[in-house]
Each structure stands twice: as structure tokens, then as C-alpha cells.
Amino acid sequence: KNEVEQSPQNLTAQEGEFITINCSYSVGISALHWLQQHPGGGIVSLFMLSSGKKKHGRLIATINIQEKHSSLHITASHPRDSAVYICAVTWEYGNKLVFGAGTILRVKS
Amino acid sequence: DSGVTQTPKHLITATGQRVTLRCSPRSGDLSVYWYQQSLDQGLQFLIQYYNGEERAKGNILERFSAQQFPDLHSELNLSSLELGDSALYFCASSVAWLYNEQFFGPGTRLTVL
């Protein structure tokens, strides 16, 4: 069983739709990261959070430490949002990232 | 552009060979991480260096080794290559050695034939 679980594995949306990707983890963490990987392969760090909520443009990330759960929301989705979204955690007292399997998002125009 | 550079972008080699992947961190970052992304295993942490010293080790094979030099660039050496070593290898950097946002390089795609 993976220590970091993401859902859904695949997601297809119409342009303009509100999108939610979920991430659950099994033990205490010091931080949770949301990453974006485009078809070309490069990885971009979207958010790093340890509590509450962060917003950047149309992207919102939330985390509930008690429930060991985080969500990434995309408002007014656009075809350029099509990518793989990866959740990763840093365990308490650790400094390596442990990754989820990723969510493949396709936004159709 | 994250500010992290990796060379080469692509590398094609044969089984049994040895290769060196290079990473230059963002200006001011002291910590360098190496990750492997393969189709069957996904993204996995290999090793971390901070200011020249090894700080954390993950699923790194004995055939692989890394180091960080005084100018803070890092090299990942892969030897006795096998077909299964074909993967994308990413380097990331951060300011400190713990609990920091990491910035990823563009990756090196290694193909072992």
C-alpha cells in the first residue's frame, strides 16, 4: 500500500469546470507538496503547506492535518492546466519527499 | 525556469556502461536532492546532499553514487547500467536541508539499450 494515495488517477474535464484532486497520507508529516508535471517532463512546485489553505491564481490547496488529507482545486479550468498533478509529503523529522502516483488531468476545450 | 540546471538532457547508452549526470542548484541553495522517475516505480527519492555532506539516503542502488562539490553542483554517477535503470532523473534544490520547498531541474532522460 502506498503511503501517499491520490484520487482520482485520471480526470477529464471541460474547460471552465471546477476541479478537485485529493491526497491522503498515512502518518504524521511536516509538510505536503503539490507538484505539476507537464508532458515535456519538467516538474514545477505549486504549493508547500503544513496547515490551512494557500491560493495562487486559479489554484487553491488545502490541508487537514487531523484527517491527514489535502485537496488541490483548480477554478475555471483551462486546457493549459492539462498535466500530471503529484502530491508529495515530507515525513515528520525527515527531509525526503515521498510521492503519490499522480493524477493525470486533461481539460478539453 | 526554476533556476536549477541539469545536463545532459538526454543520454543513450548501453548496458554495463557508466554515466555521470550533473546538476547545478539555484543560486543560494545549499541542498541538492536526486530523484528517479520510472514508468513502473513512479518518482522515488535517491539521495540528498547539503553543503557538501550527505544528509539523507533513499532507494539508491549500490551501483549509484553521488557527491556535491565545493561550488555546490552535484553529480550522480550510475555504473554497471541495466535496462531497468532507464528513467528520468531529476535534481532539485532548496535553501536549507529540512522542511523547505524544493525547486526541480528539467531532468535527464536516460535510456539504456
- Pick the residue from chain A with its C-alpha nearest to B38: A101
pLDDT of residue A27: 82
Strand, coil or helix: B85: helix
| Residue from B43, B44, B49, B111 whose CB has the most chain A CBs within 10 Å, to mutate | B43
Closest by Cβ to A101, choosing from B42, B103, B109: B42
| Residue from A29, A95, A104 whose CB has the most chain B CBs within 10 Å, to mutate | A95
Closest by Cβ to A96, choosing from B42, B48, B100: B48
- Of chain A, the percentage scoring pLDDT greater than 90 comes to 79
- From chain B, the residues in CB contact with A30 under 8 A are 98-99
Q: Mean pLDDT throughout A23-41?
A: 90
pLDDT of residue A74: 98
- Of chain A, the percentage scoring pLDDT greater than 70 comes to 96
Asked whether the predicted pLDDT for residue B82 surpasses 60, the reply is yes
Q: Mean pLDDT throughout A20-44?
A: 91
Asked whether the predicted pLDDT for residue A52 surpasses 70, the reply is yes
* Beta bridge partner(s), residue B11: B110
Residues 6+ apart with CB under 8 A from B109: A41, B9, B10, B11, B87, B88, B89
Residue A66 binned pLDDT confidence (cut-offs 50, 70, 90): very high
Q: Mean pLDDT throughout B69-97?
A: 95
Asked whether the predicted pLDDT for residue A1 surpasses 60, the reply is no
Please indicate whether, in this complex, the C-beta atoms of A45 and B101 are within 8 angstroms of each other: yes
Strands B74-78, A52-56: pairing kind: unpaired
Mean pLDDT of the residues in chain B: 94
Beta strands in chain A (DSSP E): 4-7, 10-14, 19-25, 29-37, 43-49, 52-56, 59-64, 69-74, 83-91, 97-99, 103-108
Report CA torsion sign: A38, A106, A32, B47.
negative
Residue B88 binned pLDDT confidence (cut-offs 50, 70, 90): very high
Q: What is the DSSP letter of A26?
A: S
- From chain B, the residues in CB contact with A44 under 8 A are 2, 104
Q: Please identify which residue in the block is written with the cell numbers 495562487.
A: A56
A–B CB contacts, 8 A cutoff, strictly below: 52
Q: Is the peptide bond before B106 cis (omega within 30 degrees of 0)?
A: no
- Pick the residue from chain A with its C-alpha nearest to B50: A95
Mean pLDDT of the residues in chain A: 93
- From chain B, the residues in CB contact with A86 under 8 A are 43
- Render pLDDT for A67-96 as a digit per residue (tens, 0 to 9): 999 999 999 999 999 999 999 998 876 678
Please indicate whether, in this complex, the C-beta atoms of B106 and A42 are within 8 angstroms of each other: yes
Question: Phi and psi of B84, rounded to 5°?
Answer: -70, -10
Please indicate whether, in this complex, the C-beta atoms of B48 and A95 are within 8 angstroms of each other: yes
